[in-house]
Amino acid sequence: MFNKNSGLAAILEVVMLVLVTLAIVVAAAYARGATPQFDEIIARQYDGSRQRLRALGMDDSHFENLVNGRPIVTDEHETLLRGLDRLSKISRRNLEKWTRKDVSWATVIAGDLAAAKKLADRKYQGQIFPVVGRVTRVELRRALPDQVPFFVNDRYFRCEVTQNDGQPPVVVYTLRIPKDWRRGRSSEKGSRWALDTPVRFAGVFLKLGPPEPKQNVIVMTRHIAWHPDRADPALGVTAQHVLLAGMGMDIGLFDSVRNSKKISGKEYECFYQLLALMGRLDPDRIEQAADRELRRLQTAWPKMADDFQRQSEAADDPKKRKLLKDKADAARLAARDAKEGHFSVYPLFNLANEHQCQLVTLEGIARRVFKVQADDPIGRPEVKKDFVARFGLDHYYQVHMFPDDSQNNLVVFNICEIPPDLPLGDNLREHIKISGFFYKTWPYRNRAESSVDNRRTAPLLIGRRLHWSPKRESSMYFDNFRMQALIVVGLFLLALIGLCVALWIWRRGDRRFDEIARAKNYSIPPGQSLNNMGIEADDGPDFSGLK
């Protein structure tokens, strides 16, 4: 017999199991960090940075473990790792908005020295301050074995930074550094190595470090922006990186960029930061920089071609040898075009990795121009809100053009503005000229081809504006039409003259034939006259036929 009590108990057990499961999921999501929506709730409800970190799961007990006057020690590692993990969940927009620029580091140091014992008096601990300087040393560290299960990242980095303008030195902890920094490990063995390159970031103040030899401060950050000021092959820094960094671009963001792939979520920051930077810069400055870059490339491309050629000759793998040989050929073509006074498109297609961030000026025919809303293609409105709020950029324009020497290969430009009268849409034939930075190679499908595998790859560049020459284009097509019309009329006249000459020759032949025939029938034999030919003349009328 069915037991109602047991059935009800089973239902209650199921309900309790579902509720417990939901509670675990919510708690896990809370423990792992804030979603973008929760990040906004924290931004609205809490004023102090320490309160915001507390809302993210880093409470006062963690701050109390941080003792001034010494480096980060073993019993402080959990606080540091938890802070780095929670900090990665806060949006860049809020980090920038919460950064304090009204308090100097001298004030921070003096305030925390006076309140070294009581947490309540440490009014600057947990707040965010800007740091601008040069990183001088990097150290790779790993979490302790008993801490690894609690954090996704089992390694982190400790960097020493010398600030500008006499500010105190900074020890900063972060989960990520630009990947090219690790090339510097050749200068020192092991997990520590020296650097000397400019950086800037927003650091969460944790505590004061040792006072000797000079009082430093210890902070943590989500991201270190890299602005190299000189070319350095050991770090993979090229002249175009330096040019772009000097304009304000964080070169480290290009670590996330992948060629021959669609723009992913990890690439949005780099894409929109570069696009917003172009929107703020003077367009004349960009075009002047492109002219200087072209003069530099006149000597740089031949050297690169020689380097690729030597590497090709030394390579053992046939595939690698051919790849290097193709790169050498592309560099020679680029050197030839640079010597002739214009940028080449060959490196954009064949030297994508080596050509990243290169500033170029291209001229050709625009076949498609349309407006793009600065939105996340996944449809997340908070992403659009973040970029609009930080960069003031809610749209841009995409231009599909065919440069003069591209051999009918597509090049895509994303730019901030277009001339007001430039038509939008497809099937255009507008002559344009654009200066911009090479971002990556971008896959697309050729709509003109019906085959299944119609995927193509086009260089994707980011610029400021375009120059449009409608009169030049109209004149060019008019000149072409006029030339074609002249050719057609000339051929017609030649054909007409030829026909007239043929008819004249033919008629002349007929008259000559008639003259010969008449001469044969009616001419007087030689030595005779009409008087002795026996021809009688009858002057009167002949009536012999009448009866």
Task: Please determine, for residue 505, whether its predicted confidence score (pLDDT) is greater than 50.
Answer: yes
Q: Residue 98: what are its φ and ψ, rounded to 5°?
A: -85, -10
* pLDDT for position 455: 76
Looking at residue 92, what is its pLDDT? 81
Q: Report the pLDDT value the prediction gives residue 33, as an integer from 0 to 100.
A: 40
DSSP state of 168: P
Q: What is the pLDDT of residue 393?
A: 80
pLDDT higher than 50, residue 29: no
> How far apart are the C-alpha atoms of 439 and 353, rounded to whole Å?
10
Q: What are the phi and psi torsion angles at 105 (to 5°)? A: -65, -30
Residue 35 has pLDDT above 60, yes or no: no
Two structure tokens written together for 143 = 């979490």
The average pLDDT across 98-106 equals 88
Give me the residue spans of the domains in the chain: 50-237, 283-474
Least confident residue range of 91-105, 405-419, 429-443, 466-480 = 466-480
pLDDT exceeds 90 at position 370: yes
Q: pLDDT confidence of 27, banded at 50, 70, 90?
A: very low
Name the band, by pLDDT with cuts 50, 70 and 90, for residue 394: confident
Higher confidence at residue 6 or residue 41?
A: 6
Rounded (5°) CA angle 521-524-530: 120
| Alpha carbon distance, N-terminus to C-terminus of the chain | 156
Q: Which residue has the tokens 């069915």?
A: 2
| pTM for the model | 0.74
Neighbouring residues of 170: CB distance < 8 A, sequence distance ≥ 6: 131, 133, 160, 161, 163, 203, 216, 217, 218, 219
Instruction: Report residue 38's pLDDT band, with 50, 70 and 90 as the boundaries.
Output: very low
Nearest to residue 437, comparing CAs of 258, 237, 254, 301? Answer: 254
Name the token pair of 198.
Answer: 């400019």
Please choose, from the candidates 354, 334, 356, the residue with its C-alpha nearest in 3D space to the C-alpha of residue 344.
Answer: 334
Q: What are the φ/ψ torsions at residue 443 (nearest 5 degrees)?
A: -80, 145
Round to whole Å and give the CA distance between 22 and 458.
47
pLDDT of 158: 95
Instruction: Put residue 408 in one of left, alpha, beta given phi > 0 → left and psi -120 to 50 → alpha.
Output: left
pLDDT for 438 beyond 60: yes
pLDDT band for position 14 (cuts 50, 70, 90)? low
Residue 432 has pLDDT above 60, yes or no: yes
CB 315, CB 324: distance < 8 Å: yes
Higher pLDDT among residues 126 and 530, named by residue: 126
Tell me what the mean pLDDT of segment 85-98 comes to: 82
pLDDT (tens digit per residue) in 264-275:
888 888 998 999
Distance of CA 497 to the CA centre of its chain: 61
- pLDDT tens sequence across 519-529: 656 556 666 65
Q: Lowest mean pLDDT: which of 66-80, 329-343, 446-460? A: 446-460
Q: How far apart are CA 241 and CA 245, in angstroms?
A: 6
Cis status of the peptide bond prior to 213, with omega within 30 of 0: yes
Residue type at 158?
R
**What rounded mean pLDDT belongs to the chain?**
80
In this model, does residue 131 exceed pLDDT 90?
yes
Percentage of the residues of the chain whose pLDDT score is greater than 90: 39
- From the number of C-beta atoms within 10 Å of its C-beta (0-12, 13-18, 19+), residue 411 rates as buried
Using CA atoms, how far apart are residues 173 and 38, in angstroms rounded to an integer? 25
Q: Higher pLDDT residue, 256 or 56?
A: 256
Q: Which helix (H) or strand (E) holds 142?
A: strand 128-142
